[in-house]
Structure 1
Amino acid sequence: MCGRYAQTLPPDAMVDLFEAEPANDLPEGPRWNVCPTMQIPVVATFGGRRRLLPMRWGFLPHWYDSPTAGPLLINARAETIATKPAFRDACRQRRCIIPATGFYEWTKAADGTRLPWYFYDPSGAPLVFAGIWQPWGPDGLRTCAIVSCAAGPTMAEVHHREPVTLAPADRALWLGEAGQGAAVLMRAAPEGRIARHRVSRAVNSNRSEGPELIAPLTDAGDV
């Protein structure tokens, strides 16, 4: 977890929300079905200034000689992020935040069919994932991963992991702007921050797009 999410905030809204300077090559949006290896909007701090810029979702350690030289690292486990060789330097030096409208997770029906759920902030505010990033290759391609932790009560009924989500007051600490101690933020969301509903199986295809993907499943049944 997290393996798919939605990101529908326009660049201007993200610039205002995170007080960040935008890059000129941000990925087009909105996207209701963001998949690994896509370019995604990410906020990181450089020289004390926040920037909103694109990164590849799929962290590439410096020893990979190609993007497919090892496992696709889209998540970094909070329990091992500070010690795992792929992530430990980024955890200390290159933390970022990843805006999202919501994210998806799946359960299985008795016949093995994958049944998608959509998770979101019930207040309508965006979710903000804790992330880490890594430059890779001779051109310094920026790549990132979402930090995950053991699931809290809302998530645990569907999946045993959840993305670490940051409250507004915690973002500066995660980005390294407010001193040390960011490790305490790598925990499940408090009760009430995340809600969920079932959505159409259309999102099971990575080619699907559109706002209907996050709509609650109707009484007509799964489609």
Structure 2
Amino acid sequence: MCGRFAITLPNDAMAQLFAAAPANDLPTIPSYNVCPTTNIHVVFGEDGTRKLVPMRWGFIPQWYKKPNDGPLLINARAETIAEKPAFRAACRARRCLIPADGFYEWHRPEGGEKQPWFIRPADDGPMVFAGIWQDWEREGERLRTCAMVTCAALGRMAEIHHRVPVVLTPDQWGKWLGEEGHGAASLMRSVEDTALQFHKVSKAVKSNRAEGPDLIAPL
């Protein structure tokens, strides 16, 4: 799974990268400790145009009477996303891109304490996760929410954690967004571990109040 990530790409550069129209209320950049339930940067298609907007990281199903009415859904498993009542409609019609620099994962060695790692692209470029989104509204309160799609990890990544976000390359963005017809399901597969680099980082990232570039610095 993925429960924390970092993003430092400026908003204007992000809009240019995705050829997307940016909203005026995007989250603050940089952020080295993006946490669930906060607003994150998301790219989605609307009226034939890509838009870069803030969305709450934590998907809220339509039947929730309030945002915390059930489990916090920050990830959706690729293996079951098309079957789960919470996700299946969004999987078909409301897919999005979630940009990042990289993400954190925790590994617990046998008999030891959990150790956080930072995982990022081997080429130091931006990382883009496959996501789904949903509008939720109750009694005048409206939230646009999202979740990351995850799949089984491969190789060395699997030694750190058994799940990994679905990472999309630029040539796959259009298909995932539905701009190029059908076939998005074929993209829900694990990134090869050779495309990633890994290093241990400070346990300070455990606190959702922690911030700053030291969080992603190698130990």
**Is the TM-score greater than 0.5?**
yes
Change (3 A) 1:49 1:132: same
Deviation at 1:141, TM superposition (A): 1.2
Partners in 2 of 1:84 and 1:151 — Cα distance?
21
Q: The residue matched to 2:210 in structure 1 has which SS?
A: coil
Structure-2 residue corresponding to 1:151: 153
| Equivalent residue number for residue 16 of structure 1 | 16
Contact 1:60–1:136 (CA under 8 A) maintained in structure 2 = yes
**Residue 206 of structure 1: how far off its partner (Å):** 1.1
Q: Deviations over 1:154-196 (max 9, x none)?
A: 3101011000000110000000001001001000002422110
Whole-angstrom CA distance in 1 between matches of 2:166 and 2:19:
21
Distance 1:152 1:184 in 2: 17
* 2:56 aligned partner, one-letter code: R
- Cα distance in structure 2, aligned partners of 1:89 and 1:180: 15
Listed as ranges, the matches of 1:196-211 within 5 Å are 196-211=198-213
Q: Work out whether 1:129 is the aligned partner of 2:129.
A: yes
Structure 1 residue 20: deviation in Å?
A: 0.1
State the alpha-carbon separation in 2 of the partners of residues 61 and 37 from structure 1.
14
Matched ranges for 1:70-109 at <5 A: 70-109=70-109
Distance 1:209 1:83 in 2: 37
AA aligned to 1:102 is G
Secondary structure of the residue aligned to 1:85 is coil
Following superposition, the deviation at residue 135 of structure 1 comes to 0.1
Distance in 1 (CA, whole Å) between partners of 2:130 and 2:200 is 25
Runs of 4+ in 1 over 3 A off after TM superposition: 109-112
One-letter identity of the residue aligned with 1:56: R
User: 1:154·1:195 contact (CA, 8 Å) conserved in 2?
Assistant: no
CA distance in 2, matches of 1:89, 1:213: 36
1:170 is matched with 172
Q: Name the structure 1 match of 2:56.
A: 56
Q: 1:161 aligns with which of 151, 160, 163?
A: 163
Residues in 1 aligned to 2:195 and 2:98: alpha-carbon distance in whole angstroms = 17
Aligned-partner residue type, residue 168 of structure 1: P
One-letter identity of the residue aligned with 1:149: C
- SS at 1:192 equivalent: helix
- List per-residue Cα deviations over 1:43-84 (Å, max 9, x = no partner): 000011000000000000000000110000000000000010
Task: State how far apart, in whole Å, the 1-side matches of 2:36 and 2:134 are.
Answer: 15
- Supply the distance in 1 between the matched residues of 2:112 and 2:73 (Cα, whole angstroms): 26
Q: CA RMSD in A?
A: 1.0
- Note the C-alpha offset of 1:112: 4.2
Give distance in 1, aligned partners of 2:62 and 2:70: 11
Deviation of the 1:140 alpha carbon: 3.5
- Residue in 2 that maps onto 1:215: 217
Superposition TM-score, scaled by structure 2 size = 0.96
CA distance in 2 between partners of 1:49 and 1:4 (Å): 29
Aligned counterpart, 2:184:
182
How many residues get paired?
217
Length-normalised TM-score, structure 1: 0.95
Percent identity over paired residues: 61
